């Protein structure tokens, strides 16, 4: 047995972690609380083989998942599917060298731009900032140090796929069918869901966050909502989000409503000339926000990322936040997190 799976940081777990059977021969690996890089995986067993959906952000955590699968299921993983190219879903792929790795073409292109080695240097850099800097750099260092500290980035190698697809792909494992649908760009360009019809289950990757504010790196928001509608059209009974507890179509509808709500409220402020940063702060501090379900979601500071996407779409420019732009966006995210924690009044 792998023992209880708690959160990766100090927070008490909001839901049970570890390997959970969600339908016959169909499992989710849940990593509470679904906060930054506390990502879930899936496993579908057919006959004497299994398909793994996603890995964790580092090798140590991925080994823990693989050990739980070996102990509690005991069927070899022959195929691994990545729902997208973010490191917290693919950084353990090298531990399954004999399994065929399948992802969308767009995810393959994004994987080529990943650099897990840089995470090690970032981890050291932000730790030093937290300890020795003062003022805003210290705040930035503290936030990213908190975000990165549970992970061990040594030895991670980017693995390219053995098979890619565009649109849809059907995989067969034993007597089971898995339908892969590429629904990006939304959270990332390569966003893919895995639909398992005989289990009425969808593994949604980061198209669904439950109980935690989503963060969009690519957008547009309209594309994300179209992806949510595509998931709903499959009428699944069980949906495993990329982050958060096992969910259902209610969570999909709620996230769809969040995007409409945020687009409406942010667009009004942006049209009045309010900056993205100030719009994000004003929104998450508003009574209207507190009255909605998202007023209770973790990581409200990610609203900054989401309003960047909304702002760019309004201005008719590409919404994608590039790797080069991410440090500046994270600077703003850290700033908002610190301001919310301190209870500071809006500037």
Nearer to Zn ion, 25 or 40 (CB): 40
Cα distance between the two ends of the chain: 51
The H-or-E segment that residue 231 falls in is helix 221-233
Nearest approach, Cβ of 85 to Zn ion (angstroms)? 10
Q: Rounded to the nearest 5°, which phi and psi values hold at 53?
A: -115, 110
Strand 176-182 to 192-196 pairing: antiparallel
Nearest approach, Cβ of 57 to Zn ion (angstroms)? 8
Strand 201-209 to 192-196 pairing: antiparallel
Nearer to Zn ion, 323 or 341 (CB): 323
Nearer to Zn ion, 37 or 225 (CB): 37
Nearer to Zn ion, 88 or 277 (CB): 88
Q: What is the largest CA-CA distance in the chain?
A: 60
Nearest approach, Cβ of 295 to Zn ion (angstroms)? 22
Nearer to Zn ion, 25 or 39 (CB): 39
> How many C-beta atoms lie closer than 10 Å to residue 142's C-beta?
19
Residues that bind Zn ion (CB under 5 A): 39, 88, 206, 242
Q: Rounded to the nearest 5°, which phi and psi values hold at 304?
A: -55, -50
> How many C-beta atoms lie closer than 10 Å to residue 47's C-beta?
11
Listed residue (218, 246, 224, 239) closest to 308, CA to CA: 218
Nearest approach, Cβ of 331 to Zn ion (angstroms)? 20
Nearest approach, Cβ of 205 to Zn ion (angstroms)? 8
């Amino acid at each position: 047995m792998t023992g209880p799976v708690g959160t990766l940081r100090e927070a008490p777990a909001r839901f049970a972690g570890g390997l959970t059977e969600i339908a016959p021969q169909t499992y989710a690996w849940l990593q509470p609380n679904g906060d930054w890089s506390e990502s879930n995986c899936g496993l579908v067993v057919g006959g004497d083989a299994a398909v793994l959906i996603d890995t964790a952000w580092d090798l140590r955590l991925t080994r823990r998942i693989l050990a739980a699968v070996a102990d509690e299921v005991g069927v070899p993983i022959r195929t691994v599917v990545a729902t997208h190219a973010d490191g917290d879903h693919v950084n353990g792929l090298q531990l399954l060298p004999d399994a065929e790795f399948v992802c969308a073409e767009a995810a393959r292109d994004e994987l080529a731009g990943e650099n897990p080695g840089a995470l090690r240097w970032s981890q050291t850099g932000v730790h030093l900032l937290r300890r020795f800097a003062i003022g805003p750099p210290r705040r930035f260092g503290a936030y990213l140090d908190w975000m990165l500290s549970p992970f061990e980035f040594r030895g991670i190698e980017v693995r390219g796929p053995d098979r890619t697809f565009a649109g849809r792909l059907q995989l067969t494992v034993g007597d089971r069918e898995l339908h892969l649908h590429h629904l990006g760009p939304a959270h990332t360009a390569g966003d893919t869901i895995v639909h398992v019809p005989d289990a009425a289950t969808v593994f949604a990757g980061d198209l669904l966050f439950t109980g935690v504010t989503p963060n969009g790196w690519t957008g547009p928001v309209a594309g994300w909502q179209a992806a949510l509608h595509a998931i709903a059209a499959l009428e699944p009974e069980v949906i495993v989000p990329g982050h958060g507890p096992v969910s259902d179509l209610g969570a999909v509808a709620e996230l769809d409503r969040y995007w409409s709500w945020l687009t409406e409220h942010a667009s009004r402020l942006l049209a009045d000339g309010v900056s993205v940063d100030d719009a994000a702060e004003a929104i998450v501090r508003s009574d209207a926000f507190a009255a909605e379900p998202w007023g209770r979601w973790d990581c409200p500071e990610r609203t900054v990322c989401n309003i960047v996407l909304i702002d760019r779409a309004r201005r008719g420019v590409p919404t994608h936040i590039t790797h080069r732009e991410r440090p500046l966006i994270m600077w703003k995210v850290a700033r908002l997190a610190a301001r919310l924690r301190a209870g500071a009044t809006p500037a």
